């Protein structure tokens, strides 16, 4: 290639990169379509503003500054294209994603985030309450993908996979250096297809292969049972698209048994959809009761209230919480506490008092933007400070090792001691 061709290609690539990054940033900061159009069409921004706006406003000056600052990215792109020693390692998509993530992280809000396409797809799939794969929860332990728990009646169980198994390879590809989302993407796949996992198991000297036939996995996010003393127990692990349906079905069965009290377990529930929180809170609070107030930018505060006659309005109630109870969990627990409907038992909650809106972007990535803060019925705003339980109960490693759930034991004791 001659120098002129390389220059043209570099300039074209630079404009392409700049357009994508500029569009993502302008979307984030909320400038209108007119600004984006000006940037894509490429006129001189200073000249255009000077012609149409003889007396520039603060917004105009910000737009000019952004245009100049984004020009830095074009300079960087051109330099890298021309000088970087390994040009084959230059990946425009990865660079755009990194730039977008950097824009968003500069806000300093951990809940406003850019999520690249692979992670965005997994998160969205999980929030729908089902996925296609082998059916096992996993985590990274010292850089190795490890099976935490095969889900009941799942392909993983049928294939003999056990908790603690380390996954070294998927279909012959090593997982070394991959993060957890990249590894999960390799393991998941269409129902009926096979995936070969190279596993390392404690007590077995050599790694071994297991072939698993993928299936559709319906995530069981609730657990319901009767405890001693005629106390009902209902746990909820997240507020996804199926949460309300499953909670209502479980409550229907539990309430048929006329329990003396009910334990709602929201420990380690990270939250989810706000609407699900309102609907589930409505099972415990009378219709019309204030659940939470949204304080949104530039809008009047919006009160969200219990929407229907719930199934558990009178039964004595205790809610289990801990440091893993966040967001939607804190909305439900906080509303119950503020209205005196039940007692919180356990440890202080996470303390997330904001609402995010997720935008799906053109390449499948997503942008989560904090759009509102929420206020509990009693006026509390959780901004790093969680909910303080009415009955504080901590757990010790020894109790966990013994299989004791002292927080649940204390919640049952509380309900039996506070009968109407």
Q: Exactly one of 352, 354, 365, 366 is catalytic; name it.
A: 352
**How far apart (Å, rounded) are the C-alpha atoms in residues 336 and 319?**
8
Are 333 and 319 a contacting pair, CB within 8 Å?
yes
Q: Exactly one of 235, 327, 354, 366 is catalytic; name it.
A: 327
Q: What share of the chain is helix, strand, coil (3-state, %, to 5)?
A: 40, 25, 35
Are 261 and 320 a contacting pair, CB within 8 Å?
no
**How far apart (Å, rounded) are the C-alpha atoms in residues 20 and 187?**
31
Element (H, E) at 257: none
Closest CA to 17 of 77, 60, 59: 77
- Whether 352 is catalytic: yes
- Whether 338 is catalytic: yes
Q: Exactly one of 154, 338, 365, 366 is catalytic; name it.
A: 338
Closest CA to 353 of 287, 294, 273: 294
Q: Following DSSP, what letter does each residue of 338-401 receive, concatenated? A: HTTSSEEEES----B-EEEEEEEPTTS-EEEEEEEEEE-TTS-B-BS--PPPSEE----HHHHH
**Which residues are known to be catalytic?**
327, 338, 352
């Amino acid at each position: 290639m001659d120098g002129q061709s390389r220059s043209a290609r570099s300039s074209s690539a630079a404009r392409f990169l700049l357009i994508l990054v500029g569009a993502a940033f302008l979307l984030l900061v909320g400038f209108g379509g007119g600004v984006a159009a000006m940037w894509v069409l490429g006129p001189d921004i200073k000249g255009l503003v000077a012609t149409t706006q003889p007396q520039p406003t603060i917004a105009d000056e910000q737009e000019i500054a952004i245009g100049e600052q984004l020009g830095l990215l074009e300079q960087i792109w051109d330099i890298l294209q021309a000088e970087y020693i390994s040009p084959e390692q230059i990946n425009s998509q990865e660079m755009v994603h990194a730039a977008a993530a950097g824009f968003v992280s500069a806000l300093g809000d951990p809940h406003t985030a850019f999520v690249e396409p692979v992670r965005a797809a997994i998160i969205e799939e999980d929030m729908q309450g089902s996925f296609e794969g082998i059916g096992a929860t996993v985590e990274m332990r010292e850089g190795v993908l490890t099976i935490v728990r095969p889900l009941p009646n799942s392909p993983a169980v049928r294939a003999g996979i056990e908790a603690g198994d380390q996954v070294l390879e998927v279909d012959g590809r090593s997982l070394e250096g991959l993060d957890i989302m990249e590894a999960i993407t390799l393991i998941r796949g269409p129902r009926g297809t096979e995936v070969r996992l190279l596993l390392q198991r404690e007590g077995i000297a050599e790694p071994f292969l297991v072939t698993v036939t993928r299936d559709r996995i319906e995530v069981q996010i609730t657990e319901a049972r009767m405890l001693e003393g005629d106390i009902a127990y209902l746990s909820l692990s997240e507020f996804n698209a199926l949460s309300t349906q499953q909670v209502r079905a479980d409550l229907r069965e539990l309430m048929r048994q006329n329990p003396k009290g009910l334990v709602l377990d929201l420990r380690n529930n990270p939250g989810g959809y706000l609407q699900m929180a309102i609907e589930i809170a409505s099972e415990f609070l009378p219709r019309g009761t204030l659940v939470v107030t949204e304080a949104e930018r530039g809008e009047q505060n919006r009160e969200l209230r219990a929407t229907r006659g719930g199934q558990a309005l009178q039964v004595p109630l205790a809610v289990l919480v801990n440091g893993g109870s966040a967001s939607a969990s804190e909305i439900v627990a906080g509303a119950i506490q503020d209205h005196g409907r039940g007692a919180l038992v356990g440890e202080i909650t996470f303390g997330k008092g904001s609402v995010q809106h997720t935008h799906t972007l053109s390449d499948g990535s997503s942008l989560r933007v904090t759009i509102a803060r929420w206020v509990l019925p009693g006026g509390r705003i959780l901004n790093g400070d969680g909910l303080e339980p009415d009955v504080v109960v901590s757990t010790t490693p020894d109790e966990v090792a013994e299989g004791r759930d002292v927080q649940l034991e204390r919640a049952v004791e509380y309900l039996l001691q506070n009968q109407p």
